[in-house]
Amino acid sequence: MKRRDFLFGSLASVFYIACGSSSSPATTAVDDDAGTSGPDGPDGGRPEASAALTPTSSPEDSDRVFPQGLASGDPRPDRVLLWSRVDPKGAGKAESDSFDLGFVVATDEALTNVVARGTVPATADSDHTVRVVPTGLEPGRFYYYRFEALGTTTRVARTKTAPAADADVPVKFAMCACQDYIGRYYHSWQALLDEKADLDFVLYLGDFIYESVNDPRFQSSGDDRTITLPDGMDTSAAQDGSRIAAKTLADYRAVYKAYRADPTLREVCRLYPFILTWDDHEFADDCWQDHSTSFNELDPVTKGFTDEKNTPRRMAANRAFSEFQVVDVTYDSKATFPNDITIYRSIRYGKHVDLFMTDQRSYRADHLIPEGPTDLLVGKVTKNTSVGSRYFVRKSEFDKRETKAKPSLLGASQKAWLIDAVTKSTATWKVWGNEVQMYQMALELGTLPNVPAFFTYTAYVNCDQWDGYRSERAEILSAFTKANVENLLVCTGDIHAFFASELHVDFDAPGPKPVGVEYVTAGISSASLQALVNNLTGGGSLQFIADSFLNGADAALKESNPHMRYSDSNAYGFALMEIQKDKVEATFVQLGDPREPTSTIVDRVKLTTLAGTNTIQLV
């Protein structure tokens, strides 16, 4: 590594530092706004480059002072973001105290070949989280790092930079999503650790946290997997405390701290860099912009209409995300939503992979069918419910209304960015980090057992997905087709199932060749799609939908959707992805019930897509 002059600065509490040579590492990181990294001015608090390192602390001491461990993310060929949080109480400080954290970056696990070393402030204003970005690193190699507070260090962690843009190398990653903590165990993360896989990164596609802490529709009870919120809001219709969710900044911070303190997740984050986006539960279930959908348009207190707009709550969720997630993006505390943070971005990974991460919550239009009134034409037979509005919506009538309204999921600016970036990409594979399912998932209800005659029509299973924004989906895929985009790979989470599908501009009249392929990963621990549907109707008059779905979901889905190539709607786990010049291989790794304290791998399924084909084969 060439010797470099010191360079430092920050954007919204992300501290950038240019690395020196191993013999003369960079020794500080400074916040431009503060103008100093220590109490004594620009030089205060900086360790000398030649000073001996503090010995790495015992795991017990590390966990006491750094209960959320450390993590890295958004690798580039020359840099990677490093994150940690110090617990003031564990460090013998008051919650209101601010103090410096030391950091060190080296090319070896013993930290003898140091390339960056310095201090950054851990402030109460950021809940004592820190984010450091060493720049000037070498592409495609491992680096090791740790943080230190008042003489106690974290464990030593490992990260890896992205390969150079022209590097002819395969790219390997784990595709993950949806890790509900409440009453559930992280068997999937343990299985990933047991794989000892040679991964470049973990691609995490949303629902890193769940804002709710006791929602009986999809969460389980358990004495050792609970979270207590400092404030909270009651999202139950009866306002009886049976559904409490995060509302304030303190709430969202408390949830992140509980999730990140899980030992298994903490170890995965120590070993692998993450590239991630959010979905709905980082704010609220099935949210759109700064609106939640907990009450389905019925105010539980006034019994009148509510659109659940809550900008302060949305901004609290965004701020906590910026503090606790390893995303190399800017957060502006002075701006108002949605201008406080922009998370869509692209990351190049060698010659063969261009990764495009999108935000499918901040700019989307409301769900087309209102949750409030009945609407028999779309199959909505009861008031103030998501069934018939967001779920199991009659396709024929919905398509007419959607074609006229053309609601947007991405928003105009993000859509223009995505189309431009993908169509101009020179990578072999264009990989879309996509939160909600893109392929059409229609279901001929008559193919399910014991469905009443009135309901034997074709319905969209989930209009919170791209099916609810089908015109924009067609517009984007059509733009890719016209630009002759080859090898589009869409990677998706959200729906808690393993699916694989080929993509078309018009799924009802597909062309001779698919536009791309989509692989969907099951949830790490969140209730499977079948479990969600079973709880969707709450045992009411539409319970037959859930009962019928459970008895024949996968067969009916494949029969109703000829573009589907694989379906397992009752699954938990993750996907191992390997992208080479000539093919993509996806291995779905399925675990057992996350509500049980122990589990093992119960199945593996491998699928592949050959370059230039846009098709999926079961291996």
Please give the pLDDT value at position 14.
Answer: 84
Q: What distance in Å separates the CA atoms of residue 284 and residue 244, rounded to the nearest whole number?
A: 12
Nearest one of 203, 204, 222, 205 to 213, comparing CA atoms = 222
Token pair recorded at residue 549: 């779905």
Between β-strands 345-349 and 353-357, what pairing exists: parallel, antiparallel or unpaired? antiparallel
Please give the pLDDT value at position 259.
Answer: 98
Q: Region 503-521: what's the mean pLDDT? A: 97
Nearest one of 268, 279, 325 to 177, comparing CA atoms = 279
Please give the pLDDT value at position 479.
Answer: 98
Position 359 pLDDT exceeds 70: yes
List, in order of start, the domains of the chain with CATH numbers: 8-160 (2.60.40.380), 171-618 (3.60.21.70)
H/E run at residue 193: helix 187-195
Please give the pLDDT value at position 33.
Answer: 37
One-character DSSP codes across 510-568: --SS-SEEEEEPPBSSSPPHHHHHHHHSTTSTTHHHHHHHHHHHHHHHHHH-TTEEEEE
Count of Cβ atoms closer than 10 Å to residue 575 Cβ:
24
What is the share, in percent, of the chain residues with pLDDT greater than 70? 92
pLDDT tens readout for residues 284-342: 999 999 999 999 999 999 999 999 999 999 999 999 999 999 999 989 999 999 999 99
Answer yes or no: are the C-beta atoms of 557 and 527 closer than 8 Å.
Answer: no
Q: Region 393-421: what's the mean pLDDT? A: 98
Could you tell me how far CA 228 lies from the centroid of its own chain? 23
pLDDT tens readout for residues 217-242: 899 887 789 999 999 999 999 999 99
Per-residue pLDDT band at 7 (split at 50, 70, 90): very low
pLDDT tens readout for residues 528-556: 999 999 887 665 656 777 787 888 889 99
Please give the pLDDT value at position 551.
Answer: 80
Q: What distance in Å separates the CA atoms of residue 107 and residue 23, rounded to the nearest whole number?
A: 12
Between β-strands 129-135 and 14-18, what pairing exists: parallel, antiparallel or unpaired? parallel
pLDDT tens readout for residues 142-167: 999 999 999 999 999 999 999 999 99
pLDDT tens readout for residues 436-482: 999 999 999 888 887 888 788 999 999 999 999 999 999 999 999 99
Q: In what order do the strands lie in the sheet with 391-394?
A: 391-394, 458-462, 442-444
**CA quadruple 172, 558, 441, 189: dihedral, nearest 10:** -30
**CA quadruple 52, 54, 56, 57: dihedral, nearest 10:** 170
CA torsion through residues 485, 489, 493, 499, sign:
positive
Instruction: Write down the mean pLDDT value for the chain.
Output: 92
